[in-house]
Amino acid sequence: MNYLPIEKLRSFTGSFDLFTGSKPFKNELLELELLPPLPVAGNELVWGFNLLCSAAKAGYSRLPVVRIIEKPLIELLRIAIILEDRAGNFAWGEMEKIYNLLVKKGSGELFNRLSPFLLGHEDRRLFTRVKQFSSLKTQLKVLVDEKLIDLKTALHCNNWQAALIENIGALLRLGENPLSFSKRRIILNQLLEVSLKQGIPEEKILSLVRNTLNAADPLKTAQALRFPELTAMEECFLELKGKLLAGSGIKLTPPPFFEGENFNISFSFGSKEALEKKISYMKSFAEKTDELFDLLY
Amino acid sequence: MNSLTSYIDHFKKIYVAGEVRHLRRLETALERLRHLPVIYIDDKSEIPGVDMNSHTLFISGSKGETVGHCPTSRGHLCCNYITVDLYLGCILNCSYCIMKSYLNFAPITIYPNTEVAIKQIIEIAENNKDRTIRVGTGEVGDSLLLDPIFRLSEDFIRALSPFANIFLELKTKTHFVDHLLGLENKGNTVIGFSLNPEKLISRYEGIAGTLSERVQAARKIVEHGYLVSFHFDPLFLTGDWLHQYAQTISSLKDIPQDRIAWISLGTIRYTKELKQKMGSRDFLLEEFIPCRDGKYRYLQKTRCRMYRYIIEQIRTRWRSPIPVYLCMESPAVWKNVFGRLPREIAELSAIFKEAQGCLPYPASTSTSRADVKRFEQGRII
């Protein structure tokens, strides 16, 4: 095992200082002097910047190292990523740094080879997605890395002014009952589509997002804005149902999305009289169903 | 004007798989493409990754069946159309093209061996003498885009023209019909033109022919004794769709009604996978809901309104009944639009009758269990 002075190792920090989410090194292990050897290639520390800092603070003067000889950059990156041991938990910003390093050294096209180690599974689109992330405004990159919005939504918002993005980010961080990532994604996408369809100017988008997020049911509110005709049909159905069957104990269900030709009714009864009463309700209901069928065609 | 040369210029390389390299017709086709490098290979797996794109032409013998049924769609009525794979893939780049979601081989593939498919179609026709057999080559590629070069349609026209119950349809978004004009026996060959208003063609149909090119080609082909069909599919709901489609139908006024074999209608529909590939197209901002087959369509009420209007325009233009049918629509929509199901409509019953014989229906449709669940639970996303 080779040892190098900490000061020397500090001068080796350069290209490979890529990770912002490294796990902190455990103090107990430092106290027991149980330190893994740090990989060094030439004058570059390949991995262990966190450990280097912690060891320096704990008073170490030298650290064990392993010299890696004649390995291409992609191999060194693979080693660093494996040592990080965070497959599936790397931030987009970290992956972008790795991608940029490869591009700088003329090997950008090899990036996808790292996907199993970065994601935990192979993904041939990772190269494209990291490039997409790279094209985002800084404010959007922050939101994507904070998992406040997804990459696809962020790409759609990339033309927005930085201030609007920051304000939307602040709104997303605020909520008292934070929405799940998936709900946030759906809501933002729907609002984005509403703004595109209606040509809503940027200065009004913030209030659209704010009002929706502050609503009692943000998902339902966004859906109503995105699908106004379907929502109107659902409201009309509820109104008709109330008007025609309220108090009857008869359950009426439309076909999903009013797609189809049959409504369903169901009820229960416990006596001949109860059944006769239901039948009487049904007879009167049957005479007033025109508006109901208007919802289908 | 979209010339054949401009389409040919799209291609950069040709790969020919061993089993078809000695076909005489291939020599003639390659002579027409002599500016392109030709590489002979044994199997498509030898095509390098760098050429796995639509700039590559791959000419090969088929490894499986090329004659099949049009894939059925769960909960929707099937028109019993028989498909032949001749040209697979397309370079027109229509933004809504469903092939983008299911063709997993990027080079444009050509199967120049036509004998087996023709034999199979004849067998079906002979087993179904009391039925109309509709066969088309435009399911997985444009029937005529590359046909002036490879001339594969001629084999089908010549061989199938003696059969009174076979309607061979060559479906296209181009105007490349000149090479077919001189054929002697046309039989019931139908040249099918997919139509949309000019404004929508330029917006959504990539480098396909213009509306006027297609309409002129339709006129020309009718003058030369062919039947034509028109496919208003996909129909788009845009701000001025009423006017746009009325104008498009009006542009067909010179086409005599007795030369129109059929007209089909279908509103824009897409799978979840296709939506990913379509990107942010403005037509996607309309209200689409998932249907029983997992495809997203306009609300049923909206679709019915669109169909009723288009049919009204067609009926106004041509007084006698031309067979008009809906593509991949539900019984509910059929009943609302026509008042009946296709088998109960005189001019459609022959078309919609199922052909008996050697072709199995596809074992399953592309509808996944998740699609069905999404529909039944009323979840939009």
pLDDT in tens, B271-308: 988 888 887 789 999 999 999 999 999 999 999 999 99
Q: Give the pLDDT confidence score for residue B347 in this predicted structure.
A: 84
Count Cβ atoms within 10 A of the Cβ of residue A123 and give its class: 0-12 exposed, 13-18 middle, 19 or more buried.
middle
Residues B82 and B52 in one domain: no
For residue B139, pLDDT beyond 50? yes
In chain B, residues with a C-beta closer than 8 Å to the C-beta of A263 are none
- How many domains does chain A divide into? 3
Residues 234-293 of chain A with CB under 8 A from chain B are 256-261
Residues B124 and B152 in one domain: yes
Q: Which residues of A174-204 are buried (b: 16+ CB within 10 A; e: fewer)?
A: eeeeebeeeebbbbbbbbbbbbebeeeeeee
The ipTM is: 0.86
Give all strands (DSSP E) within B307-379, no chain letters. 324-326
* Tokens found for residue A264: 């369903």
What count of other Cβ atoms lies within 10 Å of the Cβ of residue B294?
Answer: 23
The Cα of B237 is separated from the nearest Cα of chain A by a number of Å equal to 13
Q: Give the pLDDT confidence score for residue B349 in this predicted structure.
A: 81
User: Does B289 contact A295 at a Cβ distance shorter than 8 Å?
Assistant: no
* B282, B299, B336 ranked by CB distance to A258: nearest: B299
Q: Which residue in B has a C-alpha nearest to residue A194's C-alpha?
A: B285
User: Does A261 contact B378 at a Cβ distance shorter than 8 Å?
Assistant: no
| Cα–Cα dist B2/B11, whole Å | 15
Per-range mean pLDDT, top range of A198-202, A268-272, B65-69: A268-272
Give the domain-ending residue among A226, A243, A261.
Answer: A226
Residues B32 and B45 in one domain: yes
| Cα–Cα dist A257/A295, whole Å | 10
Lowest mean pLDDT among A71-85, A162-176, A209-223: A162-176
Q: Phi and psi at residue A195, in whole multiples of 5°?
A: -65, -35
pLDDT in tens, B216-246: 999 999 999 999 999 999 999 998 999 999 9
B315 domain-assigned: yes
| Cα–Cα dist B228/B208, whole Å | 18
Could you tell me if B302 lies within 8 Å of chain A, comparing CB atoms? yes
In chain A, residues with a C-beta closer than 8 Å to the C-beta of B291 are 257, 259
Tell me the one-letter amino acid at B49: G
The Cα of B334 is separated from the nearest Cα of chain A by a number of Å equal to 11
The Cα of B200 is separated from the nearest Cα of chain A by a number of Å equal to 17
Residues A217 and A240 in one domain: no
Could you tell me if B277 lies within 8 Å of chain A, comparing CB atoms? no
pLDDT in tens, B149-187: 999 999 999 999 999 999 999 999 999 999 999 999 999
Q: Please give the residue range of the domain that contains residue A154.
A: 142-226
In chain A, residues with a C-beta closer than 8 Å to the C-beta of B335 are 261
- Check which CATH number belongs to the domain holding B192 and give it: 3.80.30.30
Residues A155 and A248 in one domain: no
User: Does A297 contact B304 at a Cβ distance shorter than 8 Å?
Assistant: yes
Q: Give the pLDDT confidence score for residue B364 in this predicted structure.
A: 44
Residues B23 and B78 in one domain: no
Residues B54 and B90 in one domain: no
Mean residue pLDDT of chain A comes to 92
For residue B29, pLDDT beyond 90? yes
Closest CA to A151 of A174, A175, A179, A128: A128
β-partners of residue B88 are B109
Residues B73 and B38 in one domain: no
* Tokens found for residue A170: 């602040």
Residues A89 and A183 in one domain: no
Best residue in A258, A259, A263 to probe B by mutation, most B CBs within 10 Å? Answer: A259
User: Does A259 contact B331 at a Cβ distance shorter than 8 Å?
Assistant: no
Q: Which residue in A has a C-alpha nearest to residue B377's C-alpha?
A: A256
Q: Quick one: average pLDDT of B139-148?
A: 94
What count of other Cβ atoms lies within 10 Å of the Cβ of residue B53?
Answer: 13
Residues B293 and B303 in one domain: yes
Rg (CA), chain A: 30
For residue B133, pLDDT beyond 80? yes
Q: What is the pTM of this model?
A: 0.84
Residues B186 and B247 in one domain: yes
* Tokens found for residue A145: 């890395």
Give the domain-ending residue among A175, A206, A226.
Answer: A226
* A193, A256, A296 ranked by CB distance to B285: nearest: A193
* B330, B335, B375 ranked by CB distance to A256: nearest: B375
B269 domain-assigned: yes
User: Does A260 contact B300 at a Cβ distance shorter than 8 Å?
Assistant: yes
In chain A, residues with a C-beta closer than 8 Å to the C-beta of B331 are 261
pLDDT confidence bin for B363, thresholds 50/70/90? very low
Q: Please give the residue range of the domain that contains residue B41.
A: 11-60
Per-range mean pLDDT, top range of A152-156, A251-255, B355-359: A251-255
Lowest mean pLDDT among A147-151, A207-211, B75-79, B351-355: B351-355
| Secondary structure class of B227 (helix, strand, coil) | strand
β-partners of residue B169 are B136, B190
Residues B43 and B125 in one domain: no
Tell me the one-letter amino acid at B312: E
* Tokens found for residue B132: 């109309």
Which residues does A260 contact at the CB level (< 8 Å), separation at least 6?
A: A296, B300, B330, B332
B1 domain-assigned: no
Residues B180 and B42 in one domain: no
Could you tell me if A297 lies within 8 Å of chain B, comparing CB atoms? yes
**Half-sphere exposure in the Cβ direction for B380 (13 Å, CA):** 21
Give the domain-ending residue among A133, A155, A189.
Answer: A133
Q: Give the pLDDT confidence score for residue B184 in this predicted structure.
A: 92
DSSP state of B259: G
In chain A, residues with a C-beta closer than 8 Å to the C-beta of B302 are 229
For residue A252, pLDDT beyond 90? yes
- How many domains does chain B divide into? 2
Residues B51 and B77 in one domain: no
Place of tokens 């990754």: B49
B38 domain-assigned: yes
Secondary element (H or E) of residue A224: helix A218-226
Mean residue pLDDT of chain B comes to 90
Q: Quick one: average pLDDT of B251-270?
A: 95
Lowest mean pLDDT among A132-141, B335-344, B354-363: B354-363
For residue B19, pLDDT beyond 80? yes
B198 domain-assigned: yes
Residues B246 and B316 in one domain: yes
Residues A178 and A125 in one domain: no
Q: Give the pLDDT confidence score for residue A177 in this predicted structure.
A: 60
* Tokens found for residue B364: 């399953």
